[in-house]
Structure 1
Amino acid sequence: MKNILICLFVLFVSSETNEDTMTWDENNKLTWADFKASPDSDSDAVALTASGITFGFGVKTSGKRIVEFSTTVESHFYPNKSWYKKAQSDAHILGHEQLHFDLTELYSRKLRQEISKLQVNQNVKKQLNRLHEDINLKLSAAQAKYDRETQHSINAVKQREWANYVEKELKNLKDYKSL
């Protein structure tokens, strides 16, 4: 009987966090040492990646009018909420987990792109919050689709297709990468 390996992904939606985090960096890939939580022995999953988009904004006013706004958008990995089962984990599964984090960065870039289209107006706070909510829904759907299509890393062909897709999209949105 074929062993089924399941990897889980947890999306954290956050405006602020005091958690221990790692910010996405194209030059630093995840290692198993980054997964610091205790594995869930009751889970069929081999690993769990906890990541999310951290978002914040500020507005400058003149009287009651908003005259300027600024935002912060970051992709974070949460080591203390991420875990793996050492005996069942390998480089292929780590690559699957890294791609979950890469997808988080992709959707952070999409959020930054949408924010760049906004004009200062009196509804900008609502618009920013809506963009953040919408992108998190899209990210969650993409993460679920990724796991479904790759069968949580089992389907190596689909895994490669997703890796190529994410790499291409990250390049297409390079103007919106983290600074």
Structure 2
Amino acid sequence: MSINDFRGLPDEASKAVAITASGVSYQLAAEINNNEVHVDCNIGAYFYPNESWYKVHLADGKTLGHEQLHFDISELMAREFRRRVKEKKFSANVKREVKVIYKEVTDSLNKLQNLYDKETNFSINDEQQELWRHKIAKALEETKAFKD
């Protein structure tokens, strides 16, 4: 991710210096044969450049590092979603069951993003920013089996 990826118009009324619009989405295909549910669920973490922005006059190198971790948190939660789908024994209500997992994952994603901003004070707290950088890097390494 580079600063040029942030193509949205900044909200000058916002206290934020930058916003990363990212999240997790999925496409589901499921088939039931002989009472066995076969699931093909394409799950990804996405960055939305046209909804992401930064204030040129306030952003610095720390800003991009902070925003990169927001996307990395989305990737981490996409991996959690993949893990849960892979390990789940689905019933004939597979679409509903996947939606439940998706809602739980996105709720956790939102809480984690908010906690990250709170604990780092939106990148101002250098010590917490570094702790989060290590924490997310470690979690991504531990979940690399669910990268794609």
Give me the TM-score of the superposition, normalised by structure 1.
0.79
Match of 2:119 among 135, 144, 149: 149
Deviations 1:100-130 (A, max 9, x none): 0000000000111111111242132222110
Partner of 1:109: 79
Equivalent pairs, count: 148
Q: Distance in 2 between matches of 1:144 and 1:67?
A: 36
Aligned alpha-carbon RMSD (Å) = 1.3
Matches within 5 A, 1:48-59: 48-59=19-30
CA gap 1:45/1:67 in 2 versus in 1, 3 angstroms: closer
Q: Distance in 2 between matches of 1:162 and 1:47?
A: 18
1:46 and 2:17 are equivalent in the alignment: yes
Deviations 1:113-152 (A, max 9, x none): 1111112421322221100000000000000000000000
Deviations 1:43-68 (A, max 9, x none): 121101100101121111348x5631
How many percent identity over aligned positions?
Answer: 36
Greater helix share, 1 or 2?
2
Question: Secondary structure at the residue paired with 1:166?
Answer: helix
Which residue identity is paired with 1:72? N
Question: Secondary structure at the residue paired with 1:133?
Answer: helix
Which residue identity is paired with 1:51? S
Q: Which runs of 5+ in 2 are unaligned?
A: none
1:31 and 2:31 are equivalent in the alignment: no
User: Retained in 1: the 8 A contact 2:116–2:132?
Assistant: yes
Which residue identity is paired with 2:8? A
Question: Secondary structure at the residue paired with 2:21?
Answer: strand
User: Retained in 2: the 8 A contact 1:59–1:66?
Assistant: no
Question: Secondary structure at the residue paired with 2:8?
Answer: coil
Runs of 4+ in 1 over 2 A off after TM superposition: none
Partner of 1:165: 135
Question: Secondary structure at the residue paired with 1:45?
Answer: coil
Q: Which runs of 5+ in 1 are unaligned?
A: 1-29
Give me the TM-score of the superposition, normalised by structure 2.
0.95
